[in-house]
Amino acid sequence: MMSNVDRNHADGERSHPRLTPAVAAAPTEPFSVGRTRVQKTRRTVDLSPAQHRALDLWQRDAADRLGLARVTGQEVLAALVDQLLADPKLASQIIRTIRTRR
């Protein structure tokens, strides 16, 4: 007759089959440290009512110039960030503006 310990051990072996060396060493999905995000990160900005209205008008004008139904605030801000990061003169101008506003 089997003891409870032996029975539990036998049950454990049945529910967790041993891996053969070939299976245990099988390659897994590659993983690299420092992998970049796939998902985009959301940022928000607080605008005064006047800034909001002016941006809306600018977006409508840009849409007309481009022959589009609309240009989104997301498109505008993403383009501005791209330009800011690529243009050292613009970056310096933004830094001066931030300095004077503080």
Residues in contact with 60: Cβ distance below 8 Å, sequence separation at least 6, in sequence order = 70, 71
Q: Whole-model pTM above 0.85?
A: no
As a whole number of angstroms, the distance between CA 63 and CA 66 comes to 5
Angle 86-79-39 from CA coordinates, rounded to 5°:
95
On average, the pLDDT of the chain sits at 83
| DSSP line for 51-83 | HHHHHHHHHHHHHHHHT-S---HHHHHHHHHHH
**Size of the chain in residues:** 102
87 residue type, one letter: D
Percent of the chain at pLDDT above 90? 60
